[in-house]
Amino acid sequence: MPKQIIFFLVLLATLGIFTYSVYRYIRFFRLTKAGFPVKGFLRRTGIMFRVAIGQTKIFRFPFVGFMHAMVFWGFCVILFGSIEMIIDGLGGTEKALGSLGVFYNIMMGSGDVFALIIAISILGFVVRRVFLHIKRFEGIEMKHISHLDANIALGLIFFLMISLQGMNIAYIQQQNLAGKAVLGFYPLSGLFRGILAGYNIRTVGILYETCWWSHILVIFIFANYLPYSKHFHVFMSAPNVFLSRLDPLGKLTNMEEITREVKLMLDPDALASAPPANASTERFGVKDVEDVSWKNYFDSLACTECGRCTSVCPANITGKKLSPRKIMMDLRARMKEKGPLMVKHGRDYSDHRSLIREYISEEELWACTTCNACAGECPININQPTLIVDMRRYLVMEEASAPGQLKAMFSYIENNGAPWQFSQGDRMQWAKDLDPPVMANLFARGEKPEFLYWVGCSGAFDDRYRKVSRAFTKILSSLDVSYAVLGTEETCTGDPARRAGNEMLYQIQALQNIALFKSYGIKKILTTCPHCYNIFKNEYPDLGGHYEVINYLQFLDMMVSRGTLKLTDEVFGNDNITYHDPCYLGRANEIYEEPRKILKHLSSRYTEMRRNHSSSLCCGGGGGQMFKEAEPGNKEVYTERTEDVLLSGAGVVATACPFCMNMITDGIKYKNRETDVRNLDIAELIAVSLNL
């Protein structure tokens, strides 16, 4: 009975402290803003089983991923024994679940084996952290306290496993000495029970009680340490995966409050019927913790500080200050600093500090290419780029603060409908002597083409990329496709403005385009530019623009599959050919196989770069980077990517995006390899194959 009373009091204290910690976090969550509505329970459950329980993303780093998965699955199994210990502690029983027979044997047996596997894995983790100096465990955000925290947690887990094994060995020996049956199956501990031979039953009993109490007490201590540690992810990871953002990675959240403003600007008569402005909109974008959504904060609490995101971030790899892990850690730290003060003094409380600048510099924010490598890599589906863009939104729309070249890009879009200083009237110069059908002319004749071919600003104005527009136009004509271009009516989609934080300008462009498409009854859009593809497909629907959007590679692959497009093999002789995945086709929209299938039709000498598919490295041109100088670092992102091209040994690198074309061409020039490596778009390769 005294044991039961002591156990009850200890458990009560544990639960009390834990409940207070959770309550503290709930008060902080109340300070955040609404996020996306949590719908799609079944889909979410599937994702949680695949990503959290199945640990699928963890295996992207195979060896250490396997070790982590073993620890996770082992914990799940060992939890069964921990629950039994609590029942025993409260009820004064011994092995209360022992009557479960075979199931009990399986759980105890696998727990016994897992305890050793976990202990060995933990030792492996400690060696990696302390002796191997793995790069992703370093970084300006990884202070001494972060390493100490990790080591304390690893130490506690190791102790838990050792005490569990000790408890099992002592239990078996105690039962043997007492001539009683052993409840459960302990394959490893059974092997080691000989180490207690020669001790009497009393000593073995004391050892058992010591291991039992120390194991359960460390569990209680660990549970109360976790909410203040990066290992809070033990509790937060699975729920965070369940609450994952379900949108494609390339999709940014629409700002409804801006939509209202822009609609009124474009049609002042709509003022009378417009719904009232949302009174809770205090500022546009994110400046500080009160501006983030509950999901952003949840992400920050779930972050394990594993650094997988930072290890694949092109900005970080090339020596820039940006680290997506730091963004999450900074948000968590800032809430820890300001949250209690806001709880005490009210949500409007200001300490004259903010998440932006005091924690996250503008330099970090402007270095992001929005490539989504971080979000794709994160084992618990944290989304960092949307938060980065939200902070850019604050800078641009509240402070008019952005790098000068981005401000110039905004004004070019406003004035010329393109992110460069070109005249709208010159939009068809790329097509001279090709004479593609123009929508207005067809419409005037009462004709309606099946597809709008959206040329895009690069396709219309960029000298190099104009050749791609020409190649694709020739292919469309050779295939007798019913299509038209908008010609001088085409204007920027608003994508570069949106990624650079100018949501207002994006929505002005988008709503104008949607009205134009409506006037022509456009239903199907063909694009060559992945950025245009992404924004039409994923983001225009939020503003009422619903279309069937087809990337040219999907279209051409379909034509090849149908036999309509017949490609000639081996047009590139002995040159190996490789493919660079554009971020906005690959990670953002999961178009990986169509370009590869086409290229394998064109050449039997197809080869992959070391970073490919969802692990592909960004070219460095997205997220507004194309229009500005890169932030200081030790190299350009395009140089890093070009090194992948050169390492592949390919004589031709196929690209499928105007920004990638530009960046990798610059990289090849920088490396002085123009004579032996050619950068060609897939449309150009097909045009060569077809002798167009």
Chain residues that interact with ligand SF4, rule: CB under 6 A: 303-309, 313-315, 322, 324-325, 328, 368-374, 377-378, 380, 382, 384-385
* Cβ at position 630, least distance to ligand SF4 in Å: 11
Q: How many residues does the chain have?
A: 692
Numbers of helices and strands, H then E, in the chain: 28, 7
The answer to whether the beta carbons of residues 475 and 556 sit under 8 Å apart is yes
In 492-547, DSSP assigns E strands to 524-527
Nearer residue to ligand SF4 within complex by CB, 193 or 231: 231
Residue in this structure with the two tokens 């809770």, named with its chain if needed: 280
* Cβ at position 605, least distance to ligand SF4 in Å: 31
Nearer residue to ligand SF4 within complex by CB, 291 or 305: 305
The answer to whether the beta carbons of residues 412 and 418 sit under 8 Å apart is yes
Nearer residue to ligand SF4 within complex by CB, 204 or 368: 368
What residues does 525 pair with on adjacent strands? 452, 549
* Cβ at position 325, least distance to ligand SF4 in Å: 4
Give me the half-sphere count of Cα atoms (radius 13 Å) on the Cβ side of residue 159.
Answer: 19
> What is the rounded CA–CA span in Å between residue 242 and residue 41?
9
Structural tokens at position 145: 């306290």
Going by C-alpha positions, the residue among 216, 209, 171, 211 that lies closest to residue 190 is: 171
Structure-derived torsion over alpha carbons of residues 311, 313, 314, 318, reported in degrees to the nearest 10: -50
* Cβ at position 609, least distance to ligand SF4 in Å: 17
* Cβ at position 535, least distance to ligand SF4 in Å: 16
Residue 527: other Cβ atoms inside 10 A? 26
Nearer residue to ligand SF4 within complex by CB, 74 or 324: 324
Nearer residue to ligand SF4 within complex by CB, 42 or 140: 140
Structural tokens at position 17: 């402290």
In one-letter notation, the amino acid at residue 325 is R
* Cβ at position 655, least distance to ligand SF4 in Å: 18
Going by C-alpha positions, the residue among 414, 422, 416 that lies closest to residue 508 is: 414
Q: Which residues contact 585 (CB under 8 A, 6 or more apart)?
A: 530, 533, 551, 553, 591, 595, 656, 657
Nearer residue to ligand SF4 within complex by CB, 377 or 684: 377
* Cβ at position 329, least distance to ligand SF4 in Å: 8
Nearer residue to ligand SF4 within complex by CB, 390 or 594: 390
Residue in this structure with the two tokens 């976790």, named with its chain if needed: 226
* Cβ at position 382, least distance to ligand SF4 in Å: 4
Burial class (CB in 10 A: 0-12, 13-18, 19+), 358: middle
Nearer residue to ligand SF4 within complex by CB, 109 or 250: 250
DSSP secondary structure, 391-445, as one string: HHHHHHHHH----HHHHHHHHHHHHHSSSSS--GGGTTGGGTTT---BHHHHHHT
The answer to whether the beta carbons of residues 360 and 327 sit under 8 Å apart is yes
* Cβ at position 104, least distance to ligand SF4 in Å: 35
* Cβ at position 132, least distance to ligand SF4 in Å: 18
Nearer residue to ligand SF4 within complex by CB, 305 or 557: 305
* Cβ at position 139, least distance to ligand SF4 in Å: 10
Host H or E run for residue 167: helix 144-178
SS3 content of the chain, % helix, strand, coil (to 5): 60, 5, 35
CA distances from 347 to 28, 328, 431, 443, 677 (A): 10, 21, 57, 56, 58
Nearer residue to ligand SF4 within complex by CB, 81 or 623: 623
Nearer residue to ligand SF4 within complex by CB, 157 or 315: 315
Angle at 100 between CA 95 and CA 101, to 5 degrees: 100
Q: Helix, strand, or coil here: 551?
A: strand
* Cβ at position 387, least distance to ligand SF4 in Å: 10
> What is the rounded CA–CA span in Å between residue 437 and residue 435?
6
* Cβ at position 308, least distance to ligand SF4 in Å: 4
Nearer residue to ligand SF4 within complex by CB, 109 or 314: 314
* Cβ at position 138, least distance to ligand SF4 in Å: 13
Structural tokens at position 371: 């490539």
Nearer residue to ligand SF4 within complex by CB, 323 or 603: 323
Burial class (CB in 10 A: 0-12, 13-18, 19+), 642: buried
CA distances from 588 to 210, 502, 543, 551, 647 (A): 54, 20, 20, 13, 25
Nearer residue to ligand SF4 within complex by CB, 324 or 586: 324
* Cβ at position 670, least distance to ligand SF4 in Å: 20
* Cβ at position 10, least distance to ligand SF4 in Å: 32
CA Rg value for the chain:
30
- Biggest CA–CA distance in the chain, Å, is 103
Nearer residue to ligand SF4 within complex by CB, 328 or 497: 328
The answer to whether the beta carbons of residues 240 and 382 sit under 8 Å apart is yes
> What is the rounded CA–CA span in Å between residue 641 and residue 562?
34
Nearer residue to ligand SF4 within complex by CB, 315 or 486: 315
Nearer residue to ligand SF4 within complex by CB, 168 or 370: 370
Going by C-alpha positions, the residue among 306, 390, 402 that lies closest to residue 631 is: 402
Residue 313: other Cβ atoms inside 10 A? 27
Going by C-alpha positions, the residue among 117, 109, 114 that lies closest to residue 185 is: 109
Nearer residue to ligand SF4 within complex by CB, 419 or 621: 621
Q: Beta strand 524-527 with 652-655: parallel, antiparallel or unpaired?
A: unpaired
* Cβ at position 309, least distance to ligand SF4 in Å: 3
* Cβ at position 25, least distance to ligand SF4 in Å: 17
